Amino acid sequence: MSELEQAEREKRLLRIRHVSTFMKWAVTVVLALILVLAVIVSIGIVLPNDLMIGPEETIDVGASERTLGDIPQVQRVGLALLVAAAHIMLMFATWHIRTVFQHFQRMEFFSPKTLSNVFSFGIWLIAFAVFDLLSDPIGSVILSYDLPEGERSLDLTLDGDEIFFLVFGALMLLFGWILREAALIADENRQFV
């Protein structure tokens, strides 16, 4: 490898390190925001007040919508648990992508830990998509449980969010498998030389 090629390679690796460092910290901020939002929204649903989320605020699940103050406490706890579970799943996915950037920052492109985190990121995205798909019918039942029999609802919706997370999660899962195969091939090639 010539000096010019080596200098170009070093430049590329430095760029990868800088972008990975920036993204690791940007994702860390996003992770903190998800946590804060999860706490505020969950507590606000369970204990609506004028400080955070007022009792006159509405919550909608699928096609159903109600004022928080009109929903019994037990049902609000159920809805808050659904919201918290969704945020926790997003936090796990975000943590894994943060860890991937951390490995890239250290130039650990094909380490087993990096590949495991890419794979886990895909799994958590798929899990979130499935949960998001199932949370609408569950949430609509919880939201309307106290209403008279003819006014209760069971809503099933499929929108772009679930499709995006399913496709992106599957892509990351596949990307993790491909990187694992590339690492095995690179290891075999090193053993032959």
Average pLDDT over residues 110-131: 93
- Reply yes or no on whether the pLDDT at 25 is more than 90: yes
Q: Identify the pLDDT of residue 193.
A: 58
- 57 against 78, higher pLDDT: 78
How far is the CA of 146 from the CAs of 62, 73, 142, in angstroms?
17, 11, 8
Q: Taking the alpha carbons of 181, 187, 191, 193 in that order, is the dihedral positive or negative?
A: positive
- pLDDT at site 139: 93
- 193 residue type, one letter: V
Helix locations, the chain, DSSP H: 3-46, 73-105, 112-144, 160-192
Higher pLDDT, 155 or 75: 75
- Burial (CB < 10 A; 0-12, 13-18, 19+), residue 128, is buried
Specify the pLDDT at position 79.
Answer: 95
> At residue 161, what is the residue type?
D
Residue ranges per domain, the chain?
3-192
How high is the mean pLDDT of the chain?
91
* Confidence tier at 154 by pLDDT (50, 70, 90): confident
Highest mean pLDDT among 2-16, 41-55, 142-156: 2-16
Read off the pTM. 0.87
Q: Which amino acid is at 22?
A: F
* 136-154: average pLDDT: 89
Please report the DSSP string for 67-105 in residue order. Answer: EGGGS-HHHHHHHHHHHHHHHHHHHHHHHHHHHHHHHHH
Q: What is the pLDDT of residue 44?
A: 92
Kindly tell me if the per-residue pLDDT of 102 is higher than 80: yes
Confidence class for position 152, pLDDT limits 50, 70, 90: confident
